[in-house]
Amino acid sequence: MKRPKLLSLGFAVPPYSYSQLEIFEALAYPHHFWRIYRDAGIERRHFCVPLERFRVLSFQEQQEEYQRSAIELSKQAITNCLDGRDLKDIGCLVYCSCSGIAPGPTIGHYLVKELGFSPNTRVINIGMQGCEGGGYPGLAAAADFTTAHGKQALVVACELTSLSYYPEPDGEPNPENDFQCLRANAIFADASSAAIVGYDDDWKHPYIIDQESCTDTRYVDDLGYRWRDGRLMVLLSKKVPQIAPIVVKSALDAILQRQSLKVEDIRWWVIHAAGRAVLRNIQNSLGLSDDKLSLSLGVLRDFGNCSSSTVGLVGKRLMSENIKIGDYGVVITVGPGITGGVSLLCWGEVEQV
Amino acid sequence: MESILERVTRVVVEKTEIAREEVGPDSHLERDLNMDSLDRVELLLALEEEFRQSISEEAEQGFETVGQIVKFIEGLQ
């Protein structure tokens, strides 16, 4: 059995771009909360609607905008990922998103129609799995499809977190759960990323060697969304930076043991840019040097936390690095559950299983 | 009467729920006391109330340890 490979990555961000100060001022929070925005390690974020609009949209308007923008942004990310490849070679489209709700027909069906995928394309929708959607279950579904059917699979993650904004009155942030809305509004942003999984002979396209996840359900109510007043309201406990390294390490240790590898054998780290505290705690938990986090911190700085799209942005930057034959890399996601997902990559010749 | 160090330590302990004996002048707010930016906002507001003094954003940015907070407040007295 041949191992599947990651053939290509692409991403797209929406047109409205703002500094942290512009966002903070538009949200009209009391000044003393500025530190949270200033120290988030983020310079700019992109949104699919202008700041002055996203605070006033009704739930219905949010979902209508989601439908429009998710199709458009996903198309851009897919086009960038295809980079001249033939869409007809894609046998499966996996669409992942947690920030909006598109009842069937799904966004995936519209992408098949508007981009002209083969009518035989299998469409899979992975919804509401938070920041891990595209990076772990999405990539795993694509890898499983390729392994089982020998055809290429395309996974696209599209997150429009600005359209899950939960309204708060000027100057009166909801203190619930340690100001979870205020903290979420300090980091989340919009983006779409896409990846093609398949087979080829180019050593620069890494094999997907192994995948593993770990969910600690004791913290199931600490991360995600919940319904409130007919809207989505973010659920972001302050425990997340403490729990994330534990589930990530458990999943990673299982892979390292199976593959007879050590942490020091992993040269490239594509870690979900969830936030500074999550990244720092994962770094400390695994004993990583600062340079291992540079790709994730760079994406956090330039784009913020784009939920499940984020690892695609980090991975795209990795492809420009000085990768050598024999290098190992990992893709790490964190999402609701609380779940840590890890995919092991290897560049070059790999023994088949 | 409580010293400034004792008062700052009391406020830090209240905000972090870390044992009193584990907080000292050399305690680093982020590394040792695991304070995130929201914790620091809450600490700042509590210190302003405790000492009836306004603490500027510029000054607050320089606080890395409990001892640096104490030194700053001593300078205000």
Percent of chain A with pLDDT over 90: 93
- Which residue did the predictor score with more confidence, B77 or A232? A232
The confidence score (pLDDT) of residue A351 equals 60
The confidence score (pLDDT) of residue A213 equals 97
Instruction: Mark whether B36 is an active-site residue.
Output: yes
- Within the 4-43 window of chain B, which residues sit less than 8 Å (CB to CB) from chain A? 36-38, 40-41
- With beta carbons under 8 A apart, name residues in chain B contacting A177: none
In this structure, is the dihedral angle defined by the CA atoms of residues A217, A222, A226 and A232, taken in order, positive or negative? Answer: negative
Tell if the CB–CB gap between B60 and A183 is shorter than 8 Å. Answer: no
Q: How far is B42 from chain A, CA to nearest CA, in Å? A: 9
Residue A36 has its nearest CB partner, among B37, B45, B60, at: B37
Q: How many CB atoms are located within 10 Å of the residue A100 CB?
A: 23
Q: Give the residue-averaged pLDDT of A195-208.
A: 96
Q: How far is B39 from chain A, CA to nearest CA, in Å? A: 9
The confidence score (pLDDT) of residue A338 equals 97
The confidence score (pLDDT) of residue A223 equals 96
Cβ neighbors of A323 (< 8 A, separation 6 or more) are A204, A268, A329, A347
The confidence score (pLDDT) of residue B62 equals 87
Residue range A4-38, pLDDT digits in tens: 999 999 999 999 999 999 999 999 999 989 999 99
Question: How far is C-alpha B52 from the chain's CA centre?
Answer: 14
Tell if the CB–CB gap between B37 and A178 is shorter than 8 Å. Answer: no
The confidence score (pLDDT) of residue A353 equals 52
Residue range A130-148, pLDDT digits in tens: 999 989 999 999 999 999 9
Of the candidates A19, A335, A26, the one whose C-alpha atom is nearest the C-alpha of residue A165 is A26
- Mean pLDDT, rounded, of chain A: 95
Q: How far is A104 from chain B, CA to nearest CA, in Å? A: 40
Residue range B34-61, pLDDT digits in tens: 888 888 888 998 999 999 988 888 888 8
Q: Could you give the C-alpha distances from A185 to A106, A189, A215, A269, A351, in angstroms and in order?
A: 27, 8, 25, 26, 45
The confidence score (pLDDT) of residue B61 equals 84
Residue B41 has its nearest CB partner, among A36, A238, A277, at: A36
Q: Give the residue-averaged pLDDT of A92-111.
A: 96
Strand partners for A271: A332
Residue type, A169: P
Chain B residue closest in CA terms to A177: B38
Q: How many CB atoms are located within 10 Å of the residue A43 CB?
A: 12
A1, pLDDT greater than 80: no
Any chain B CB within 8 A of the CB of A33?
Answer: yes
- Which residue did the predictor score with more confidence, B49 or A268? A268
Q: Give the residue-averaged pLDDT of A280-308.
A: 97
Helix axes B37-51, A176-185, angle to 10 degrees: 120
Residue range A55-93, pLDDT digits in tens: 999 999 999 999 999 999 999 999 999 998 999 999 999
Strand partners for A95: A125, A156
The confidence score (pLDDT) of residue A205 equals 96
